[in-house]
Amino acid sequence: MQVLWAPWRMAYVADKAARGCIFCIALEGDRRERLLLGTTAASLVILNRFPYQNGHLMVAPRRHTASLTALPEAEHRDLAETLRRSIDTVAATFHPDGFNLGMNLGAAAGAGVVDHLHWHIVPRWAAPRATRRPRRPPEAAGARGSCGLVAAAPPARRRARRAHAGRNGVLQRRETAALARLGESCGSGCSGTSEERGARPAAREHRTRARKEGRPTPRGVERADGVRGHRSSAARGSAAREQRTGPRDFWLFLLERGAYNRRTTRGMGAVVQGSETARTLGELKASGYRVVPVREEMRRNLLARLGRKERILPGIIGYDDTVIPDIENAVLAGHHMVFLGERGQAKSRIIRGLTSLLDPAVPAVEGCPINDSPFDPICRTCRRRLTLEGDTLPIAWIGPDDRYGEKLATPDVSMADLIGEIDPVKVAEGRYLADEETIHYGLVPRTNRGLFAINELPDLTEKVQVGLFNLMEEKDVQIKGYKIRLPLDIIIVASANPEDYTSRGRIITPLKDRFDVQIRTHYPHTLDDEITIMEQETPVLDRGVREVRVPFFIKEIVAQITFEARGSNEINQASGVSVRVTINNYESLLSNAEKRAVRTTEREIVPRITDLPSVLASTAGKIELEYVGEDKKDGDLIDRLINRAILKVWDKYLKVEALKKVTDHFEAGWGVEVSDEMPSHEYLEGIRHIPGLREGVGLLGAFETPALMATATEFVLEGLHLHQKLNKDRSGGRYAYRA
Ligand SMILES: [Zn+2]
Ligand SMILES: [Zn+2]
């Protein structure tokens, strides 16, 4: 077993005296603020604000009492049942390998809150072998945390803790965070320290394992923090680490990352809101729950987010001042939206991200294919059941996944796919039209009370466009000549290429009018944003013992190649140059560098200028040339884009005049050979023979390893070549720079 060490709890230990009873306070005021997950007749479930682990819950009776034996029989039973259900929920949500359950009665037993009894539920994960922490030193044994469940701070940490706490009695936030980082939990439950988790490969192995087991991974947390493009990845990392130590993790996973599936949402639904324990219409009515239209629900959730100064759409970079304000306005107004933009501008991702504005769970008639509200069902079966069953009508709590649908439009998409199909034989048998037995509902009705996304809207046939329009406008549709009333509660979000959307005849005018707002997306305005997206979206691969190190100028060149392509009049700009070009080029470059590292048995994977031709394959298929010529042409074009990109980045950091010493040495007869297969140490020869070169490389910053020196050398020389100060000859896979 791992021993839990949760240093962020020190803040709690230090200032708890100043507070009243946390359980009683939790019953008043803002649930979310108080971390209250739910209440039953006699009990409450609350998140631990200073958790030992992700998912650390506490279950307490509503009654403020310290005595377990004095609790009335009914309240005992309620407490036990709530405890059981909470364990089920955490198990379904986080898939822990085990639990610690604990109740500390009295200060001597380690109770933090002495006079209001409560259960702790602490999910636990088995440590992977490589990350198991060493045996505890004997002098640390027996040390206790504040509430008895935590034990054993190693002596060094205890000293640090004492030093911090001793200064003013209360830990500063920064210090708490620093301490927390010492014992940083990896987010999927491993609470070994960074040192003990050892080298990166071990952490990666754990991450892979966590992913395999469907647990939230630390990477997920890092992306959930919603940082902006202008912050460095280092800042992002540390922000994520700080956040990872707080109870907000739990909410981030469940509510914002969408890292839940239908099952966990349903399970969680039992705890998130008190009313969500309702299983029948009668119970729902008793809880006071009110069903609201989806626009109202999204509006309410957006206003709450804005009030908390939280970002919507975390992970979407570069739209803070342009696209996001428009989206917010559209959501507040309850508008149907159409996103216009060229390929690879995160349109689908934005649309999917809007589901984070849906409630984690809403009640629907159990078994209804179109998510009918139990108060006011529209399908015939549900209406009949409501009449027959009344308050005993069973309800199910459905999550955002059940209320989101998307379809890539093609000319093959039919009315049956999107809206529905009727069986004329059954109609002829005299069944009712609005009967599940005669209608097979399509994708749009199945996402009733939610969001439906249609990508590439202009590719829908006119007939289907008319059907869609009727559904949005008239609330009834014609299927095979039968008029069917379908008053759906749905927000339609579409995306389209701007040229297709505006070209005459592609979209029927009434449908175009039905979209209340057009939101224009765009490519990143700055190289920094492009690079941030590139780094965020490039998958972290298992590269064994080898470490990837990419110099800033290589990243800038990759992004600049895409920028050059977007500005080129030889490329069809109406279809655009996707951000995916940048991402895939970066991946190609890393792969080429990795192959070299394997062949030369070097420990570092560092892309070079000579790796750049590898982006040809990942660029060619994603750009459309304006003029179709001989097939050699797109290769030539990409070569030119690469050269222009190198030159632009080079000119930002270097000057030909500053490298006069280098060019002088070349003129004295020296030459340097480079290749994407050459071991890095061979570059050091060249640097030794041409002293000005070392200084030239120094202008770019400190490049301390042979692999980094090699790539910087190539960059300096290639720039001089592109400025026509050096010649470059090719022989086989090798290039020689000479005066
Ligand atoms: Zn109390
Ligand atoms: Zn129904």
Q: What is the pLDDT of residue 278?
A: 80
Residue 287 Cα to ligand 2 midpoint, Å, equals 22
Read off the tokens for 732.
Answer: 């086989």
Is the pLDDT higher at 65 or at 53?
65
- Which CATH topology does 654-739 take? Arc Repressor Mutant, subunit A (1.10.10)
Residue 33 CA: distances (Å) to CA of 28, 176, 515: 10, 21, 37
Ligand showing the shortest atom-to-Cα distance for residue 26: 1
Does pLDDT of 205 surpass 60? no
pLDDT of 739 above 90 = no
For residue 21, report the distance from its CA to the centre of ligand 1, in Å. Answer: 5
Return the ligand number nearest the Cα of 372. Answer: 2
Residue 166 has pLDDT above 80, yes or no: no
Q: 131 versus 323: which is more confidently predicted?
A: 323
Q: Determine the Cα–Cα distance for residues 369 and 434; give it in Å rounded to an integer.
A: 13
Residue 48, pLDDT score: 77
Q: Which amino acid is at 289?
A: Y
**What is the predicted pLDDT for the residue at 434?**
55
pLDDT of residue 246: 33
Residue 431 pLDDT: 64
**Contact criterion met (CB below 8 Å) for 87 and 80:** no
| 382 CA from centroid of ligand 2 (Å) | 4
**pLDDT exceeds 70 at position 714:** yes
Band (pLDDT 50/70/90 cuts) for residue 650 is: very high
CB of 597 within 8 A of CB of 608? Answer: no
User: Both tokens of residue 636?
Assistant: 């030539």
| pLDDT score of 57 more than 80 | yes
Ligand 2 mean position, distance from CA 280 (Å): 15
Please indicate whether residue 454 or residue 506 has the higher confidence score (pLDDT): 454
Rounded to the nearest whole angstrom, what is the distance from the C-alpha of residue 11 to the centroid of ligand 1? 21
Residue 52's pLDDT is: 67
Q: Which residue has the higher pLDDT, 89 or 195?
A: 89
Whole-number mean pLDDT of the chain? 76
Of 172 and 328, the one with more pLDDT = 328
Ligand nearest to the Cα of 27, by number: 1
Q: Name the more confident of 44 and 182.
A: 44
Closest CA to 366 of 396, 386, 338: 396
Between 146 and 40, name the one with better pLDDT.
Answer: 40
> How far apart are the CA of 576 and the centre of ligand 2, in A?
43
Amino acid identity, residue 552?
A: F
Do 454 and 417 meet the contact criterion of CB atoms below 8 Å apart? Answer: no
CA of 623 to the centre of ligand 2 (A): 47
| Residue 314 banded pLDDT, cuts 50, 70, 90 | confident
Ligand 2 centre distance from Cα of residue 435 (Å): 10
Q: Are 500 and 448 in contact (CB under 8 A)?
A: no
Specify the higher pLDDT residue, 166 or 54.
54
More confident residue, 187 or 374: 374
**Ligand 1 geometric centre to CA of 528 (Å):** 51
Q: Out of 79-88, 99-108, 276-285, 508-517, give the one with best mean pLDDT.
A: 508-517
> Is residue 737 within 8 Å of 717, Cβ to Cβ?
yes
pLDDT tens-digit map of 356-372: 899 888 999 999 999 99
CB 5 within 8 A of CB 156: no
Residue 272 Cα to ligand 1 midpoint, Å, equals 21
- Tokens 């329009």 — which residue? 469
Mean pLDDT of the 25-41 span = 74
Quick one: DSSP state of residue 254?
I
Give the ligand with the smallest distance to the CA of 66. 1
Please report which ligand is nearest the Cα atom of 21.
1
ipTM: 0.55
Domain ranges of the chain: 9-256, 278-520, 523-653, 654-739
Q: Residue 611 contacts by C-beta under 8 Å, 6 or more apart in sequence?
A: 589, 592, 593, 596, 676
Which ligand has the minimum distance to the alpha carbon of residue 44?
1
pLDDT in the model for residue 214: 40
Question: Rounded to whole angstroms, how far apart are CA atoms 602 and 600?
Answer: 5
Collect all residues with Cβ–Cβ distance below 8 Å to 359 and sequence separation of at least 6. Answer: 297, 301, 400
Contact 387, 276 (CB under 8 A): no
Nearest residue to 596 (alpha-carbon basis) of 689, 709, 680 = 680
Instruction: Please report which helix (H) or strand (E) contains residue 172, including its range.
Output: none
Percent of the chain whose pLDDT exceeds 70: 74
Question: 31 alpha carbon to ligand 1 midpoint, in Å?
Answer: 16
Q: Judge whether 453 and 493 are in contact, CB under 8 Å.
A: yes
Instruction: State the CATH architecture for 278-520.
Output: 3-Layer(aba) Sandwich (3.40)
Give phi and psi for 584, each to the nearest 5.
-70, -35
Expressed in angstroms and rounded, the spacing between residue 38 Cα and the centre of ligand 1 is 16
Residue 667 in this model has a pLDDT that exceeds 50: yes
What tokens were used for 723? 């400025």
CB 267 within 8 A of CB 55: no
CA of 362 to the centre of ligand 2 (A): 15
The pLDDT confidence band at residue 17, using thresholds 50, 70 and 90, is very low
- The length of the chain is 739
Please give the pLDDT value at position 53. 64
Higher-confidence position of 430 and 311: 311
What confidence score (pLDDT) does residue 401 get? 85
pLDDT for 202 beyond 50: no
Mean pLDDT computed over 188-213: 39
CA 12 / ligand 1 centre spacing (Å): 17
Task: Tell which wins on pLDDT, 476 or 682.
Answer: 682
Higher pLDDT, 464 or 193: 464
Please name which ligand lies nearest the alpha carbon of 378. Answer: 2
Q: Is the pLDDT of residue 126 over 60?
A: yes
365 CA to centre of ligand 2 in angstroms: 6
8 Å CB contact between 154 and 137 = yes
pLDDT of 632 > 70? The answer is: no
Which of 10-14, 114-118, 168-172: highest mean pLDDT? Answer: 114-118
State the distance from the centre of ligand 2 to the C-alpha of 469, rounded, in angstroms. 22
CA of 489 to the centre of ligand 2 (A): 13
Q: What is the pLDDT of residue 429?
A: 72
Q: Which of 254, 206, 299 is nearest to 90 (CA)?
A: 254
More confident residue, 117 or 199: 117
The pLDDT score that the predictor gives to residue 678 is: 93
Confidence of residue 220 (pLDDT cuts 50, 70, 90): very low
Tens of pLDDT, residue by residue over 438-494, are: 788 899 999 999 999 999 999 999 999 998 998 888 777 777 777 778 889 999 999
Query: Using CA atoms, how far apart are residues 411 and 204, in angstroms rounded to an integer?
Result: 44
What superfamily would CATH give domain 9-256?
HIT-like (3.30.428.10)
Q: How far apart are CA 176 and CA 182, in angstroms?
A: 10
Ligand 2 centroid vs 561 CA: distance in angstroms? 53
- Name the residue with higher pLDDT: 379 or 175: 379
CA of 247 to the centre of ligand 1 (A): 21
CA of 104 to the centre of ligand 1 (A): 15
Determine the pLDDT at residue 146. Answer: 33
The pLDDT score that the predictor gives to residue 629 is: 61
Residue 658 to residues 163, 551, 663, 685: CA-CA distances in angstroms? 51, 21, 10, 22
137 Cα: distance to centroid of ligand 1 (angstroms): 38
DSSP string, 662-705: HHHHHHTT--EEEETTS-HHHHHHHHHH-HHHHHHHHTT----S
Give the sheet arrangement for strand 672-675, strand by strand. 672-675, 734-738, 727-731
Q: Which ligand has the minimum distance to the alpha carbon of residue 439?
A: 2
pLDDT single digits (tens) 584-615: 999 999 999 999 999 999 999 999 999 999 99
% of the chain exceeding 90 in pLDDT? 40
Q: How far is the CA of 485 from the centre of ligand 2 (A)?
A: 13
Does the pLDDT of residue 262 top 80, yes or no?
no
- Cα(63)–Cα(124) distance, rounded to whole angstroms? 29
108, 64 in Cβ contact below 8 A?
A: no
| pLDDT beyond 70 at 263 | no
Dihedral of CA 62/65/67/70: which sign?
A: negative
Task: Let me know: does 477 contact 467? Beta carbons within 8 Å.
Answer: yes
> Could you tell me how far CA 289 lies from the centroid of its own chain?
31
- Identify the nearest ligand to the CA of 371 by its number: 2
Who has greater pLDDT, 389 or 201?
Answer: 389
For tokens 């994708």, name the residue: 443
Out of 25-34, 35-44, 206-215, least confident range: 206-215
